[in-house]
Amino acid sequence: MSGRTPPTEKDIEIWCHFCGVPEEIPGLIAASRNVESAYIEWRQFQRSQKHLNEMRLKLYEESQVYRFYSSTTFPWPVQATGYMRALMLRSAELHRSDPPDIEDAIRVRVDRQRLLDDGTRRAAILVEESALRAQPFPRDVMREQLNRLLVMMRRPNVSLGVVPTQGRRVQKPAENFHLYDEVQVFIELLTAAVTITQPREIALYVQLFEDLAADAVYGRKARALINAAMEFLD
């Protein structure tokens, strides 16, 4: 055997039963399904952005609960268009690649945001206070983005929490991550995007998100931190 042909799901089931570990079947099948798309460099993502966006649309449409933790940037449901544009251009510059069709990519992302309009889906978003005060882009872009956060906070199906810089912390992850229901985790690294579908790993990220959510502030306190960050821009 050359080892070049991946096992089928039936092969995995038979092997796990033969080895006496049937409880490993779901995790191994999930890993097998995900092996080719688990790690994608951002440069590769930019070259095939349209295809990958279309591929992920099914996940977005089928998911009912979106959960996001961001330590440095703001996730797609709450991004203002100017922030989207600046983020895409910065990514292309960082990775020394040709930028994608920016306006087309913005339209795709804005259309994706409309998935929250029907009220059947919920988004729970956690951002670090330091992300509010960071100024990676011009002041007008950041001001528009912070205003966008205040607007999105008013939506009944959007929960926005800010994790204060000061105070009790269970932990502070280095990476941004997105959870779609409890079927997939999408992790943003500097050089690549990592997709996780292994149930045990997903459970750890669910627990991590809950721990971070317990440390966050919401409502009036969150708005005060956002407004303070806007004043910091002046």
- Rounded Cα–Cα distance for residues 159 and 207 (Å): 17
Token output for 193: 């995007």
Token output for 121: 């889906």
User: What domains does the chain contain, in order, with CATH numbers?
Assistant: 8-36 (no CATH), 38-233 (3.30.870.10)
**Element spanning 129, H or E:** helix 129-133
Helices 9-19 and 25-34 pack at an angle, to 10 degrees, of 150
How would you list the strands of the sheet with 192-196, edge to edge? 39-41, 192-196, 184-188, 176-180, 65-70, 122-128, 158-163
Give me the pLDDT at residue 35, please.
45
In order along its 234 residues, the chain shows pLDDT tens digits of: 344 555 666 766 776 776 776 766 676 565 555 544 464 554 555 555 555 566 678 889 999 999 999 998 999 999 999 999 999 888 778 766 666 678 888 888 899 999 999 889 999 999 999 999 999 999 999 999 999 999 999 999 999 999 998 877 777 887 899 999 999 998 887 666 788 888 889 999 999 999 999 999 999 999 999 999 999 887
